[in-house]
A and B are shown apart, each in its own frame.
Chain A
């Protein structure tokens, strides 16, 4: 069901072992996540109104990574519309505003937001505001306007709104927040599919994809499924080395630079 490379077994020691451990950790996370999603499927009594899955539960960031596309597909047992929300691992973000001071633009005001989704995308089969009440949109973080972004410190509503809008604007500019780039398409009455696109600057980590079945202005069924975006291969090795053995990595970087510089000097000596 997933397309996890099987070759990621420890072959040596050092970097490879670290990478292998990291990979095993990823697999464990993934297993837990899949378990959760299966539990969701089995949970509600009777027939599940909505079943969905991804073409792949792992996006591997290799040296040639330029972004990735994952197909989400599923079936519904009853009429309705489908909304797909992708949320990246949360992180804390500080938003700063520049103001003119003595002619120079200087960061003056700042507001921190906790637990901001590092990535957010929404795909729907029809425009949502026509289908669902605002309270439902807010509960399921359907649409950017209804994303839960909590300022760390209490501030006036105007300031919070301005900084919130700026945060979403910055994220959109970076290509990390988007609404309906690829709509959910129904193939007949029951079957639906959509493509989820992840750009090259996508943050790594555990993603949660929530699929909602909407009917009569409410959510009638939902399913979550995990997606792991992880660096693998050479780029993962470099990242792990830099993270875990940072001083050694620095020394190694200097040695590589000196060696390359020296090599260039020798090569070009007689040219």
Chain B
């Protein structure tokens, strides 16, 4: 079933998009990550213009995160206090990220910066997670709980200490705010929810219980992606509602399944699985950076071709007048 996407200006198979949404939604529910880091490359792969892929996907993540949070909410797996503190940093980060994005676009290397950021963040964090979770899996069932092991370092000497009852944490409010800030920055720069960064940061830096991390990060992602959607729509007109709707319907179903499956996975198993996917995407993107492109030349339209309001007559482009 073919559907025309009005903003992307292309025709796609609705079933392919639904399936894509379901797959990403499943991962979203399973790991508590938005799955944006997978969705952007996949959408571009099926031919959606990169700018539209990024803008639309932010919109889709809003809905996916809402249904994801609801499932976690019923299990009381959302730390609202912590999420709100993260959101404070997230708002500042998103605003700053949008500014950085416009500067990078002006400099003309936004594509490269996005690819490099993906490789750097996905590779680095995925690699760390993989090593840690595999280590935990190999050590086996003897000591699955590491909560008591975290030592006091300089992070615990920071001011503005707050008590987060749900997570059983007494830490500086600056820590979650800083994590939210970085997450918000990445939403704007890379067009992703940033869950793959938030989840490990909350586990390793904050020492949050793994069960609460997914719900809390999704809770925060709702608001950062909503902000990103509105900013993208207002500045670039790159949010395709039709595409977002299809992704949402597929994603909503996938997320419910994912959330249920996540209950039957142990923390380190789920982390190892996520790490493998993240590292895989990073390797793929790194290979793309280093392999010679099929065609070294690429064409980009500057200025919109269709503006009947401002330019009704295609002056200068009409063929030469007829000769007799």
B66 lies within 8 A of A265 (CB)? yes
The contact of B11 among A65, A110, A163, by CB within 8 Å, is: A65
Min CB gap B95→A, angstroms: 15
Are the C-beta atoms of A239 and B295 separated by less than 8 Å?
no
Stretch in A6-14, A73-81, A178-186, A204-212 touching the partner: A204-212
Other-chain residue from B9, B237, B256 in contact with A271 (beta carbon distance below 8 A): B256
Any A CB within 8 A of the CB of B244? yes
* Inter-chain contacts of B4 with A (CB < 8 A): 61-66, 200, 235
Number of B interface residues in the complex (CB < 8 A) = 77
Closest B residue to A36 by CB, please name it.
Answer: B318
Smallest beta-carbon distance B215→chain A, Å: 12
B262 CB within 8 Å of chain A:
no
User: Which of A125-133, A188-196, A214-222 lies on the face that meets chain B?
Assistant: A214-222
Given the known inter-chain contacts A63-B4, A91-B303, please indicate yes or no for A247 contacting B233, CB distance below 8 A. yes
Q: Which of the candidate stretches B104-112, B133-141, B189-197, B269-277 sits at the interface with the other chain?
A: B104-112
Q: Is the interface of B mostly helix, strand, loop or mixed?
A: mixed
Return chain A residues, CB-CB under 8 Å to B256: 264-265, 268, 271
Residues of B within 8 A of A22 (CB): 308
A18 CB → nearest B CB, Å: 11
B308 to chain A, nearest CB (A): 6
Residues of B contacting A265 in the complex (Cβ-Cβ under 8 angstroms): 66-67, 70-71, 252, 256
Q: How far is the CA of A32 from the CA of B59 in the complex (A)?
A: 41
B70 near A249: Cβ-Cβ < 8 Å: no
B255: which A residues are within 8 A, CB to CB?
264
Contact of B239 with A140 in the complex, beta carbons under 8 Å: no
What's the Cα separation between A261 and B21 when bound, in Å?
A: 13
Q: Which of B146-154, B159-167, B168-176, B285-293 contacts A (4 or more CB under 8 A)?
A: B285-293
Taking CB atoms, residues of chain B closer than 8 Å to A218 are 323
A208 touching B299, Cβ below 8 Å: no
Known contacts being A140-B319, A205-B308, is A66 close to B11, with CB within 8 Å? yes
A242 at the A/B interface (Cβ < 8 Å)?
A: yes
Whether the pair B71, A261 counts as a contact (CB closer than 8 A) is no
What 1/0 mask marks residues of chain B from 193 to 214 whose CB sits below 8 Å from any chain A CB?
A: 0000000000000000000000
Residue numbers of A with Cβ under 8 A of B are: 22, 25-26, 29, 40, 44, 61-67, 85, 87-100, 103-107, 110, 112, 115, 117-118, 139-141, 162-163, 166-167, 169-171, 173, 200-201, 203-206, 208, 210, 212, 218-224, 231, 234-236, 238-239, 242-243, 246-247, 249-254, 256-258, 260-266, 268-269, 271
The 8 residue pairs across chains A and B that have the minimum distance between CB atoms: A250-B233, A222-B322, A261-B66, A264-B252, A166-B297, A265-B70, A200-B11, A261-B63
Extra inter-chain contacts (20) besides given A26-B308, A91-B303, A250-B229, CB under 8 Å: A40-B322, A62-B4, A65-B11, A89-B306, A93-B300, A107-B298, A115-B316, A117-B317, A140-B320, A166-B295, A169-B297, A173-B295, A200-B10, A206-B308, A219-B323, A221-B324, A235-B4, A256-B244, A258-B226, A264-B248
